Amino acid sequence: MPTVFSHSIAALAVGKAVAPPGMPTKFWVASAVCAALPDIDVVSFAFGVRYDEMFGHRGITHSFTFALLLGVFVVLLFFRDISLFSGHWFLLAGYFFVITASHALLDALTNGGLGVALFAPFTNERYFFPWRPIQVSPIGVAFFSERGLRVLLSELGWIWLPSGILVLLSIAIRRNSG
């Protein structure tokens, strides 16, 4: 998996590219949290849940179903001032769905693990993209090692740099169109 930092960086870059100026702090916090939240499933190890099970790592919390439910939940909970089922409501729910789903898609670009259960709970089949350039992050304290440093360097090139370019391009486009 990419590190929790990189999931949030990518989400914030997407938010910067697509959100109108002046979005409230709760939008940005929710963006970062939604992008990182699927990794909450690592607590399942403490309860004896195996990695390859539906409730294991990269299981149901990495699915499109989870992303959709979380996107709707975030809008219902934190954006109550938006009219229910209005165009703006659907845009926000769709945005938080995409941000949450980006976690699983980035994980599917890593070179380790058992894959991602994109279609859970309907199937626990795990998927990867054919091209997997991102170094998989070690889980737990193993992150603070030479391997963890290699992972961060990989993420700088494959996630942080493209995220920075996306932000700069969106700023340039907004300046030129305004």
Query: 49 is in which domain, residue-wise?
Result: 4-177
CA–CA separation, 97 and 109 (whole Å): 19
CA quadruple 100, 101, 106, 111: dihedral sign = positive
Mean pLDDT by 10 residues, the chain (178 residues): 83 97 97 97 94 96 98 98 97 98 97 96 98 84 70 92 97 89
CA–CA separation, 59 and 39 (whole Å): 10
Q: Amino acid identity of 3?
A: T
Beta strands in the chain (DSSP E): none
Q: Is the Cβ–Cβ distance between 67 and 35 less than 8 Å?
A: no
How many distinct structural domains can be found in the chain?
1
Q: Amino acid identity of 18?
A: V
CA–CA separation, 59 and 41 (whole Å): 8
pTM beyond 0.75: yes
Q: What pLDDT sits at residue 35?
A: 98
Plot region of 66 (φ>0 → left; ψ -120 to 50 → alpha; else → beta): alpha
Q: Is the Cβ–Cβ distance between 26 and 43 less than 8 Å?
A: no
Q: What pLDDT sits at residue 148?
A: 75
Beta strands in 21-175 (DSSP E): none
Q: What pLDDT sits at residue 147?
A: 75
CA–CA separation, 167 and 113 (whole Å): 30
Contacts of 159 (CB under 8 A, 6+ apart): 2, 6, 9, 10, 106, 134
Plot region of 113 (φ>0 → left; ψ -120 to 50 → alpha; else → beta): left
DSSP state letter for 127: B
